[in-house]
Amino acid sequence: MDKSPFDPVTLSKIAGMELRARQVVDGILSGIHKSPYQGSSIEFLEHKEYSPGSEIKHIDWKVHARSDKYYVKQFEEETNLKCYLFLDTSGSMGYQSAGVSKYEYASNLVASLSYLLLKQSDLVGLINFRDKVLQYVPPRSRIVHLHVLLNALVGNKTAGKSDIAAALGEFEGKIGRRSLIIIVSDFFDDVEKVIRRIKHFQSRKSEIILFQILDPYELTFPFEAITYFESLEDDRRVLADPKSIKEHYLAGINRFLEQLKQSCYENQIEFQLINTSTPLDQVLVNFLAKLKIKGKRYGKE
């Protein structure tokens, strides 16, 4: 039976997640006087004749040189960003060597991103998925929407296989142009299939950011003794000597990571590999830096 949103345990988890998100985000933003999401900008529309009161900095001097008249560049202002957060809740996201599981880390990252964006009056929606979409919280911009998002995060259990492309496919007709799509997953999936699906949204001028969440043990394979390795997505279980397979495992995981990284680079997809020991504030600072550098859609200081 699903827990009520008013269940004391659920409320406690929501409160804890909200507190962590607020501490991380407010700490980062405390020294920023103007958000990198705000400002004038962004897409050049057309010229209009200069009139008193127009911004001199927007005069197109090349046009003036040709026509001896003053024309000002007119821009389309985009003040609100619409963001869709896709969160992987498949079985492999439940892996945990120490500290927090990949899903716990990912859900806290999603909570922090949600709070950060909502503080800027941007619209935030959430999609929980495995091999299909499990839950969809439509985008809203009011800060009280954070509680709806957090409630959707704490109610999840990791299980089953992941199919990122299928989850994205369910939203091909639902996500409008020029949205921000953030996918948080370990990306243990068919990389080529995922990239093909992402390119559909890029064709509609959406920006894509991938956060790959991995456990430190998945990156280093520090096992020593004979170990039972169990799949978290099906019933497979194997007894193995870690020392005899470590070299082969590390070669395989590094090929996979390089394939994903290179595919993102070639297709202009923002990508960040994160292990669960990375402080959340460091991840958010990098996220803000990416948006600030892009500038064209998110505004400038």
Instruction: Name the DSSP letter for residue 59.
Output: B
pLDDT at 109: 95
Handedness of CA 124, 130, 131, 133 (dihedral sign): negative
Distance CA 285, CA 293 (A): 12
- E strands, 69-173, are 71-77, 82-88, 123-129, 133-140
Distance CA 81, CA 121 (A): 8
CATH of 8-32+79-294, one of 3.40.50.410, 1.10.599.10, 3.40.50.150, 3.40.640.10: 3.40.50.410
pLDDT at 6: 45
* Residue 281 DSSP SS3: helix
With a CB cutoff of 8 Å and minimum separation 6, the contacts of 170 are 132, 133
Handedness of CA 47, 49, 55, 57 (dihedral sign): positive
Task: For 132-151, write each residue's pLDDT tens digit.
Answer: 999 999 999 998 999 999 99
pLDDT at 71: 65
Longest dimension (CA), the chain: 81
Q: Nearest CA to 121 among 148, 76, 151, 83?
A: 83
Domain ranges of the chain: 8-32+79-294, 42-77
pLDDT at 31: 44
* Residue 239 DSSP SS3: strand
Distance CA 91, CA 274 (A): 18
Instruction: Give the pLDDT means over successive 10-residue stretches in the chain (301 positions).
Output: 49 71 75 40 50 61 69 55 95 92 95 91 95 96 92 90 96 90 97 96 94 97 86 82 92 97 96 94 86 48 35
